[in-house]
Chain A
Amino acid sequence: DAKTTQPPSMDCAEGRAANLPCNHSTISGNEYVYWYRQIHSQGPQYIIHGLKNNETNEMASLIITEDRKSSTLILPHATLRDTAVYYCIVRVGGFGNEKLTFGTGTRL
C-alpha cells in the first residue's frame, strides 16, 4: 500500500469548514483513498473513500486531485464533536486486501 503524509495537527474554528490534506504521491492506479477518524480512545470510524472522482456523503467530502497524488477531506461545518485524529489510508480495495495501514494522522 502506498505511503501517505499528513500534517500532525490542524486547528479549525467551530462552524467553519475543516480541510485536511493528504499526500499520497506513490499511489497506484488500483488503490483507493480511505479516510477514518478516531475520537479520543474510541475505535476508528470510517468516513469516506474514493478512487479518482470526488465523493460526498453525509459526513464529509473527498476531493482527489486529477493526478491522484493528493487529496483533501472536507468537513463542511466542523463542530467540537469533530475533534479527533483523522487518518488518510491508501490501499487496494476488494477481497484479500482488507488490511488498513494507519499512519500518524492529523489531530484536528
Chain B
Amino acid sequence: DTAVSQTPKYLVTQMGNDKSIKCEQNLGHDTMYWYKQDSKKFLKIMFSYNNKELIINETVPNRFSPKSPDKAHLNLHINSLELGDSAVYFCASSRDRLPNEQFFGPGTRLTVL
C-alpha cells in the first residue's frame, strides 16, 4: 500500500481555471505538508497542517487554499491558475516526534497553459 498518495499525477489546465490536488496518507501521522518544486528544481514548503490545523503558511498567495477534512487528508485548491503555478507539487506527512522524518508522495505535475 502506498504510504502517501496524490491525485492526479498529471494536471494540465488553462490559465484562470480552478483546480484541486488531493493527498492522502495511511501512516497515522498527525502532520501533513505541501511543497512546491519549480522548474529550477527548488523545493519549497507551502503549508503544514497538524491535526487539521494550519501551523505553517509560507507566504503563499491567497489563491492557494489547503483543506484538511481529517488527519489523513490534505487537499490543495488553487484558484485562478497562473502560468507561474506550473510546477510539481509534493504532499508529505510526519509524526509529531523525533525523528520527524517526512514521507513524501509521488508528486503532481501541474502545467498551466
Contact = CB atoms under 8 A, between A and B. Distances in A.
B96 interface: yes
A94 B100 contact: yes
A3 to B, nearest CB: 15
Interface of B: 4, 31, 33, 35, 41-45, 48, 50, 55-56, 58, 88, 90, 92, 94, 96-107, 109
Interface string A35-67: 010100111111001000000000000000000
A42 B106 contact: yes
Interface of A: 32, 34, 36, 38, 41-46, 49, 85, 87, 93-96, 98-102, 104
Contact of B48 (A42, A98, A104): A98
A102 B43 contact: yes
Given A41-B107, A43-B106, A96 B92 contact: no
Contacts of A100: 35, 45, 102
Contacts of B106: 42-43
B94 A94 contact: no
Contacts of A94: 97-98, 100
A56 B22 CA distance: 35
26 contacts: A32-B99, A34-B101, A36-B102, A38-B43, A41-B109, A42-B107, A44-B43, A45-B104, A46-B101, A49-B101, A85-B41, A93-B99, A94-B98, A95-B96, A95-B97, A98-B55, A98-B94, A98-B100, A98-B102, A99-B45, A99-B48, A99-B58, A100-B102, A101-B45, A102-B43, A102-B44
Nearest to B4: A43
B90 A44 contact: yes
Contacts of B42: 102, 104
A99 B107 contact: no
A33 to B, nearest CB: 11
Contacts of A85: 41
B107 A46 contact: no
